[in-house]
Amino acid sequence: MEAESVRGPSSCCILLAFLFLMVFSSSNMKTCTCLATNTSNPNTTDFIRTSCGVTTYPQLCYTSLSSFASSIQANPRKLAQTALNISITSAQSTSVLVSKLSQRRDLKTWEAATVKDCVDQIEDSIDELKQSLEQLQKLEGPGIDFKMSNIKTWLSAALSNDETCMDGIDGKDINEEVNSTIKKSILNVAKLTSNALAIINHLT
């Protein structure tokens, strides 16, 4: 009879202990997962900020490139290619904008002709930017110095076309709103292109 009074832990106690262990383990797993996530995302924007320090417009450089940090990582070639792609996209948008402005009905004939000339210069600039990007993507093997020279020549020519467009608008008494809009857009393209050139000049 006495032996029967000694009982093991009840099924209820065993269940409670089991649930406690499950909750504790789950909590620890979440903590470990959280820590692993935090340490697996290094800050890749420092490389971009440092690289943009060599440009004429470092703040514009950083803001235009920082959203691509995850794909650029710390790769100078990818940084330069991304900078050129951004310049091309901006120039293409500007070309569309200026082309629409040339069709405004309130423009005089000579004003529309001047704006159309600007469109042609922007298109030339886009072609030169694309040639630069294509050459940069093939920057392997022999003749690298020659290829780099071509890239820099095309980028310089693109900047000259941007400047020619702005000079043509400045030199004439063109519609003030059209004048201001074109100059603002072209200046942004020129700054982006200048930054891309500076980054490429520092490629090793």
In this prediction the pTM is 0.77
Give the pLDDT band of residue 141 (cuts 50, 70, 90). Answer: confident
Summarised one tens digit per residue, pLDDT across range 24-52 is 344 343 333 322 323 223 467 999 999 99
How high does pLDDT run on average in the chain? 83
Q: Which fold has domain 45-201?
A: Butyryl-CoA Dehydrogenase, subunit A; domain 3 (1.20.140)
Q: DSSP string of the chain?
A: -TGGG-----HHHHHHHHHHHHHHHHHHHHHHHHHHHHHT----HHHHHHHHTTSSSHHHHHHHHGGGHHHHTT-HHHHHHHHHHHHHHHHHHHHHHHHHHTT-TTS-HHHHHHHHHHHHHHHHHHHHHHHHHHHHHT--SS-HHHHHHHHHHHHHHHHHHHHHHHHHHHTTT--HHHHHHHHHHHHHHHHHHHHHHHHHHT--
Instruction: Average the pLDDT over 62-88 and give the result.
Output: 96
Domain ranges for the chain: 3-39, 45-201
Give the pLDDT band of residue 142 (cuts 50, 70, 90). Answer: confident
